[in-house]
Amino acid sequence: MFGSATQHHGIIRKYVIMFGNMFNDIDVVRYNNAGDAVQSIRVPIAYGPKEKFLARLRGDPQLDKDVAIQLPRLAFEITDMAYAPDRGLSKLGINTGIGSNQNSIRKANTPVPYDITFTLYAMFANNEDAVQVIEQILPFFRPEWTHTVKLVPEIADKFDVPTVFTGMSIEDSYDADFQVRRAIIYTLTFTVKGYLFGPTRNKGVIKRTLVDLSANNVVGAPYNTRITLTPGLLANGSPTTNSTASIATSSISANSDYGFAFDSENFFDGIDRHGHS
């Protein structure tokens, strides 16, 4: 049933990349006794739980291996996802985009809102590094930071996706003997107010619409006026409302910059033209 449309848009992966990119250019500066900057370290960031990195950190208590995990370091992961009914959109809405050919458009139902909880772990060997990094993060969240993201390549719409800062806790793991490396861990939680799309599909383009108007309120009575609506496009690519000056509708694609041409016919002979065009 749900797997009949083998199509996904990689939206959750885009949220992961979006979130990680917010913290991928944080630096820690080391100073000498005179207050001069002597070293600048780019803080690495990776996706994964903090336990993974702490296990690597504590796996070398003698500090005699050639390579040990370096601090400071950032890690993050998705820890929860929940439907957000307060941000629900009309189920009848449609999002459109470029179709597979000039006589079609791409359609998708309105997306489903989900709150995605991200947890960011900031691990440090000393408090000076910790406060430098935290002060580079928190001022940007009041309490949210908003990205504009194109979630589905085939859909033209872009969505504003807020990332809301929801809280922080601090843990100091320095509670053992001198052979255990210290790790000060700041745990920051964020909620990404995102959307998920179902499958998209190609739909044909309606290029001719007929509207019949009648002065008689009786259902099925002969109509007095017929209005024909068609796309209008001049040979030079400019939109037009003149159907006689327009190129053939078969040559107008769904993505053309067309206008709308209205043609009106009046009938006063009382003949029933229902079912005839």
- Is pLDDT larger for residue 58 or for residue 199? 199
What digits encode the pLDDT tens for the residues 16-44?
999 999 999 999 998 888 888 888 889 99
Question: What confidence score (pLDDT) does residue 63 get?
Answer: 44
Q: How far is CA 10 from CA 16, 151, 217, 255, 269, in A?
A: 10, 8, 53, 25, 60
Report, as an integer, the average pLDDT of 150-169.
90
Assign 66 a pLDDT band (cuts: 50, 70, 90).
Answer: very low
**DSSP type of residue 239:** B
Question: What confidence score (pLDDT) does residue 178 get?
Answer: 53
Q: Please, what sign has the CA dihedral across residues 198, 48, 192, 115?
A: positive
What digits encode the pLDDT tens for the residues 227-259?
888 888 898 988 888 888 888 887 887 677 888
| Number of Cβ within a 10 Å radius of residue 122 | 27
Question: What confidence score (pLDDT) does residue 57 get?
Answer: 58
Across 32-36, 178-182, 200-204, the highest mean pLDDT is recorded for: 32-36
Q: Order across the sheet with 104-109: list the strands.
A: 94-98, 104-109, 201-204
Say if CB 76 and CB 120 are below 8 A apart: yes
Identity of residue 185: I
pTM for the model stands at 0.70
Question: What confidence score (pLDDT) does residue 18 get?
Answer: 95
Q: How far is CA 174 from CA 68, 85, 181, 184, 233, in A?
A: 18, 43, 7, 8, 73
- Is pLDDT larger for residue 252 or for residue 61? 252
CA-to-CA distance for 135 and 131, rounded, in angstroms? 6
Identity of residue 65: K
